[in-house]
Structure formats: C-alpha cells, structure tokens
Amino acid sequence: MEYLRELPSLLLPWYCENRRELPWRADREPYHVWLSEIMLQQTRVEAVKGYYSRFLDTLPTIAALAECDDELLHKLWEGLGYYSRVRNLKKAAQVVMARHDGLFPRTHAEVLALPGIGDYTAGAICSICYGLPTPAVDGNVLRVFSRLTDDPSPIDLSPTKRKVTEVLAAIYPAEAGDFTQALMELGATVCGPNRKPDCERCPCNRICRGYAHGTAEVLPVKAPKKEKRQEDRTVFLFHCDGKYALEKRPSKGLLAGLWQFPNVSGQLDTADALAEAEKMGLRPQDLQKEIFRKHIFTHIQWNMKGIYLDVAETGGDFQWFTEDEVTAAAALPTAFRQFWEER
C-alpha cells in the first residue's frame, strides 16, 4: 500500500483550508480534547456543541470534575445518553488527581489505562495534544480507508480495525495532531456516512481505489447486525398537587443510578395500570392520557406505554418533585424524558 504514503501530503493542506471551526479545536488542552471525544461518541457534532460549553462552564478543570456531585454530573449530561461515559469521565478524573498529581498523563499507555478510554480516544488525545503518531481509528476513518483501498472487509470487525491502525501508524507525519483531525474531518464531511461520497471534491481521489474502480458508493461493508431484543414497559407519570413521582434506578446495569418514572414490565391495559398504581400505594383519581413511545439502546428496544395519572396524595416508595425541580435537578435519561416533554 505504498500509494497511501501520499495521504498526509494530500490531506493536510485540505484540512488547513476546509476544517470546521469547532469549540474543542480552539486549543489542545488534554481535558478539552478528552471531553469532546467522549461526548462525540454516538452523538452528532451539532448536538455536542452546547453540552461541551455548558460542561466546561460548570466544571472548568479536571479537579472540578473529580469532585463533582453525581446529581449535577448527570444533569449536565442529560439527553446525551450512554451515561456510563460521564461516570467514567469522573472516575478517570479522580485517577488523574490521585495518581498523576492532577496533570493529564502524557504517554499512550497511561492515557489508555484511564477508565472509559479505549484505543480510539487514547490515540486521539495523544496525537492531537502531544503530537504522538498514535492513530485514532473510528467509524469515519474506517469508512475512508475502506474506500481508499477498495476493501470490502466488514469495518465493524476487530481484524479490520487492527489492519487499518497498523497501516496508519506506518504513514503518520510529524504533524500528527492535524493528520488525525484531517482524517476525522474527511470522514465526517466529504466521505461522510449515510450518503453518496463527494468524490469530485475529495483531496484524495487521485489515490482512491474505490473512486477509480467505481465502488466507493457501496463501501464500507458491515457485518450483519443481530436483531435487538424487544422489551415492553409501562411508564407511570404520577401527579399530585404540582408534584411528580420519581425513583432512582439500581446502581448497576442499564441507566445505572439515574432518575426514572415508576415503571413495570409489560404494556398494561388501563384497568391493570390502575390496579398496579394501587399496589404501589397510590390512589388513582384521574387518568389524563396514554401515549406510546419507543427507545432504542445498543442491544435492546423498549416499547413503552406512558400512563399520565393524577393521584390523591403523594406516597409510595417514591420521591416527589415539582416541575421546576425535575427540570433543574433531576437527570432523566431520554427514554423517560420523552414522556416528561409531552406531559
């Protein structure tokens, strides 16, 4: 793959002229780059911008993150999903404070050893912040390489990722940080996902075998996905005298430690839902409405029925919050927040 050695000289000038102005590109502070890379996992750039700024306004340093109350931490992350990411951010910040005297580590091995940091994030931090030749191979980079090399190997399999990482490591230029971000930028824009690649505008089309062979549009290839497990749930929005019932999820497992509306397995009909409310120690008074929604996790789909129910008094094994308290302080994961937004 000698032709790929031209990649840096093609990409770097293009990146210099065409890169998007993003808040986390304003500097190369490791905390900022680390935070942005964690936020950008499974999340669109436009959605992250506001979260990134609010997070740093509230927690401007690693020390502040390490000491942050979990409730505030979850509230800052509310709506981004994949809450294990922010819990690992705090754990990693505590490790930095305890083992590295509050200074973000500078070697790839030390960065990779932090909680919640995998190969991609470690590669991104070390190349962007420290100029190390450490590839950051994510879906965007894998897409670019499958087209550049006209390779139909499934990009979501580990051997493919290892091969791309090895090839990249051998051609990294001195401008390691810019090269990492140039690859990301190309894969997010010109060679982007879920649309036809804009090969005519691509700075690499001269060496792209997918373009030459007419296969760029059908690449990359992914292995067949397993069907998601389906789970039915009934969600209760209990309301009494301006307050709403919430409870904490278990400390381990899916959406660990976050707030939720009371809910049970299965989709109950109206009569069974009212009976279930009574079992929870509440006296139903007025059924406001019922709605149906779904929420998709990585391996599970929840099919959810929301029951909006006025009850006679606050009670049950719940905590009761005013509307302002829910909005200001209780971090609701998206699966439940969608019912709150339609109250």
Task: Quick: pLDDT tens for 201-224.
Answer: 999 999 999 999 999 999 999 998
Residue 241 CB partners (closer than 8 Å, separation 6+): 314
Residue at which a domain ends, from 218, 246, 265: 218
**Domain co-membership, 38 together with 185:** yes
Whether the predicted pLDDT of 324 surpasses 90: yes
Is residue 122 predicted with pLDDT exceeding 90?
yes
Query: Do 210 and 240 sit in the same domain of this protein?
Result: no
Rounded distance between C-alpha atoms, residue 171 and residue 182, angstroms = 14
Average confidence (pLDDT) over 283-293: 95
> Is residue 223 in a domain?
no
CA dist., res. 307 & res. 41, Å (int): 33
Same domain as 76, residue 28: yes
The tens digit of pLDDT for each residue in 50-102 reads: 999 999 999 999 999 999 999 999 999 998 888 999 999 999 999 999 999 99
Provide the domain count of the chain: 2
Question: How would you label 197-226 residue by residue, b for 16+ Cβ within 10 Å and e otherwise?
Answer: bebeebbbbebbebbeeebbeebbeeeeee
pLDDT at 1 over 90: no
Q: Which domain holds residue 28?
A: 2-218
Q: Which of 17, 29, 37, 231 is catalytic?
A: 37
Q: Is residue 224 part of a domain?
A: no
Of 143, 89, 98, the C-alpha closest to 116 is 89
Please indicate, yes or no, whether residues 212 and 287 belong to a single structural domain of this protein. no
- Tell me whether residue 200 is one of the annotated catalytic residues: no
Position 239 in a domain: yes
Residue 289 φ/ψ, nearest 5 degrees = -170, 170
- What CATH code is carried by the domain that includes residue 303? 3.90.79.10
- Comparing C-alpha atoms, which of 102, 101, 221 is closest to residue 151? 221
Instruction: Please tell me whether residues 141 and 272 are part of one structural domain.
Output: no
**Among the listed residues 298, 229, 303, 237, the one whose alpha carbon sits nearest the alpha carbon of residue 266:** 303
User: Using CA atoms, how far apart are residues 186 and 154, in angstroms rounded to an integer?
Assistant: 20
Q: What are phi and psi of 233, to 5 degrees?
A: -140, 150
pLDDT for 340 beyond 90: yes
User: In the structure encoding, which two tokens stand for residue 200, read together?
Assistant: 């005519």
Whether 172 has a pLDDT exceeding 90, the answer reads yes
How far apart (Å, rounded) are the C-alpha atoms in residues 193 and 187?
8
What pLDDT is recorded for position 249?
93
Are 111 and 209 in a shared domain?
yes
Question: Across the chain, what does the average pLDDT equal?
Answer: 95
DSSP 155-192: TTSHHHHHHHHHHHHHH--S-HHHHHHHHHHHHHTTT-
CA-nearest of 59, 64, 68, 56 to 27 is 56
DSSP 114: S
* Residue 318 and residue 247 in contact, taking contact as beta carbons nearer than 8 Å: yes
Of all residues in the chain, the percent with pLDDT exceeding 70 is 100
